[in-house]
Structure 1
Amino acid sequence: MSQFIDQFQRKFEYLRLSVTDVCNFKCTYCLPDGYHREHKKQFLSLAEISNLVQSFAQLGTKKVRITGGEPSLRRDFTGIIETVKNTQGIEKVATTTNGFRMAKSVADWKKAGLDAINVSIDSLDANMFYQITGENLLTKVMAGIDAAFAAGFSQVKVNTVLMKGLNAHELQTFLAWIKPRNIQLRFIELMQTGDNHALFQAHHVPGSVIMKQLIAQGWVEKVRQATDGPARVFCHPDYSGEVGLIMPYEAHFCDNCNRLRVSSTGRLHLCLFGEQGTDLRDLLQGPEQNEALQQRLISQLKTKRASHFLQQGDLGGTTHFAAIGG
């Protein structure tokens, strides 16, 4: 029985857990100048992660997504997957990665218990991929997707931020790519943060524009499942793949919120936007602290707002998404 229910009767069964804020890519919309460490804190240890996930699971969390930065930069990443997967009550373990280590390691991740994988690919054109990410690694990332299917993943999700003047013209190329492949292509609307106002103004493409194009081409929306993320998912009888749209500026986007976030240094974030987080680390040092940790979590959840209020131009305190795992 979930104890993670807020004052708006939303049930929280999904934890997005960042294990590092380090990333080796320099994506224009996230870390255009590359990663610069802004704190001296150590990232959560394996023991702290274990204590944290146990407490979340006991309160009703069923799904954990391991995020970053780039989570596979942690040397103990496979051990983290195994630890989370072996936690009683956790039914699904997922990760989001830039894919640069997948070809080499995805089979090991699968063996450790990884159930689902999201890969960020913002262009299928090598030159545009380099322009957006700062890395000439498209071939390596694409090989990683092949390796994921070979390792036994039945579906791979691909995250793409379509941006006007950069890669927005690739929509039909992406759709052709997923026609024979069981890939859920997730178009994520560019979001404004504290440091990207000019980029947002120049390149933002509303998700509603993409949705109209999909519907015109015969795509149909699927019914949402309880532990799904925020995407509205569309399918087409002629395609093996699916399309997910993540549209944070859409009315009622927050009505079905089902996820909480913990940063790589142990701060609880009730929303990707708008607040500085609550430190949990002092209660992660042993299983004997789990009860106190759970009480803090329940207490904080009571303060969660109805919405992120992005529609009204509220950017909150988020400077870039690598800090709390997107």
Structure 2
Amino acid sequence: MAQQFEDKFHRKFYYLRLSVTDVCNFRCTYCLPDGYQPPGRKRPAFLTLEEIKRVVTAFADCGTSKVRITGGEPSLRKDFPQIIEAVANTQGIRKVATTTNGYRMAKQVATWREAGLTHINVSVDSLDPRMFHQITGENKFFDVMAGIDRALEIGYPQVKVNVVLMKDRNAKQLPEFLQWIKDRPIQLRFIELMQTGEMDELFNNHHVSGVEIRNQLIANGWILKAKGESDGPAQVFVHADYQGEIGLIMPYEKNFCESCNRLRVSAMGKLHLCLFGEQGVDLRDLLQHDSQENALIERIQTQLQNKSVSHFLHDGNSGMTPNLASIGG
């Protein structure tokens, strides 16, 4: 194995978030309220299956053990099962996850599991079908619920459900969410609304801190769970009376970035050291041949020395990221 990917702050990177498309068929208010807008100018195609194999192999050879396939909506790619299979068959990769809006899960999740998908995150921002429609722009609540049920039915031990917290929208629905996971193996992940370049007004109107929910959980007997090496940034809480779990992702909390263990590659083949902050470093010229792996690893390792200690969201700096779909959230 090549040298472990590590930055100048001695953070090691076990987790790759790999976007395979920036296209999405939902119109979530906090991400793509006007729907997906194709670029006006001609641009390169998304990473090919062969390019995906090469970038994942390079990361695996440098200590990465978990890959999350993201979008946009990754299942919009017709070769999504083949992408899963390629990632799962890469030596050193132990976890293959995806984040999906869930609209195709009921029909396709069995195929994904067979291809090697080990973990699933589904975005469900409300358990009220009308509020779900209002937030996502799509009347697909019952389709998504059927997809979650199907995933559990075919043998996934747990499904993670992502909820973006928004004041005056879903922040007061904690009791309903807790009731939902009482007898279901679901890790409910409350994510603080994050400020991006196109969402300043929405952020100012709807941001709510996850600390309030954490305080409620602790007061009601929920206990913080230890974090694994390749786990994401969630603080996970468990309770003896609940089959489900609660995860809190609070990027505005002090020291959030200290445990950063993940890097991002966009659907266009750009390395992003952070969800926020910079334009990205092009890797695509080094993804054309297997023989380029050493040069690819060297470029990534060199760029890692430029990774900042923090995302600087606390300073109101949302960086260059226009929306979360653009590099896979």
TM-score band w.r.t. shorter chain: over 0.9
From 252, 255, 271, the counterpart of 1:252: 255
Distance in structure 2 (CA, Å) of the matches to 1:268 and 1:179: 39
Q: What is the alpha-carbon distance in structure 2 between the residues aligned to residue 177 and residue 217 of structure 1?
A: 17
Task: Report the residue type matching 2:33 in the other structure.
Answer: P
Q: Deviations over 1:212-237 (max 9, x none)?
A: 11111111111111110000000011
Tell me if 1:324 matches 2:323: no
Of 150, 155, 170, 1:152 maps to 155
CA distance in structure 1 between the aligned counterparts of 2:171 and 2:59, rounded to whole angstroms: 39
Partner of 2:32: 31
Q: Which amino acid aligns with 1:22?
A: V
> The residue matched to 1:228 in structure 2 has which SS?
coil
TM-superposed CA distance for 1:198, in Å, is 1.1
Root-mean-square deviation over aligned CA pairs: 0.8
> TM-score normalised to the size of structure 1?
0.99
2:229 is aligned with 1:209: no
1:138 aligned partner: 141
The separation in 2 between residues aligned to 1:3 and 1:185, in whole angstroms, is 32
Comparing 111-120 with 204-213, greater Cα deviation is found at 204-213
- Tell me how far apart the structure 1 counterparts of residues 20 and 323 of structure 2 sit (CA, whole Å): 16
Within the candidate set 271, 276, 293, 1:268 is matched to 271
* Mapped pair 1:62 → 2:65: yes
What does the per-residue CA deviation read over 1:36-61, in whole Å, with 9 as the maximum and x for residues that have no partner? 02262200000000011111111111
- More off after superposition, 252-261 vs 158-167: 158-167
- Between the aligned partners of 2:97 and 2:318, the Cα distance in structure 1 is 27
Distance (whole Å) between structure 2 residues aligned to residue 162 and residue 14 of structure 1? 24
CA distance in 1, matches of 2:232, 2:47: 24
Q: Name 2:202's counterpart in structure 1.
A: 199
Deviations 1:47-105 (A, max 9, x none): 00001111111111110000000000000000000000001111110000000000000
Shift of 1:168: 1.3
SS of the counterpart of 2:172?
helix
The structural deviation recorded for 1:195 is 1.0
- Name 1:16's counterpart in structure 2: 17
Of 307, 312, 327, 1:309 maps to 312
> Which structure 2 residues correspond to residues 77-156 of structure 1 after superposition, within 5 A?
77-156=80-159
TM-score calculated relative to the size of structure 2: 0.98
Q: Report whether the alignment pairs 1:284 with 2:287.
A: yes
Question: C-alpha distance in 2, partners of 1:312/1:210?
Answer: 23
Moved segments of 4+, more than 4 Å: none
Shift, 1:151, TM fit: 1.6
Match of 2:299 in 1: 296
**Secondary structure of the residue that 1:168 maps to in structure 2?**
coil
* CA displacement at 1:150 relative to structure 2: 1.3
Q: Work out the CA distance in 1 between the residues paired with 2:285 and 2:105.
A: 34
Cα drift, residue 312 of structure 1 = 1.4
Unpaired runs of at least 5, structure 1: none
Shift of 1:12: 0.2
Gaps of 5+ in 2: none
1:117: Cα distance to partner? Answer: 0.2
**Distance in 1 between the 2:123 and 2:165 partners?**
12
Moved more, 251-260 or 2-11: 2-11
Q: Does 1:187 align with 2:190?
A: yes
Find the residue that maps to 1:169 and give its secondary structure: coil
Query: Which residue is 1:73 aligned to?
Result: 76
Deviates further, 270-279 or 213-222 = 213-222
Aligned residues: 326
Question: In 2, Cα distance between the equivalents of 1:279 and 1:37?
Answer: 21
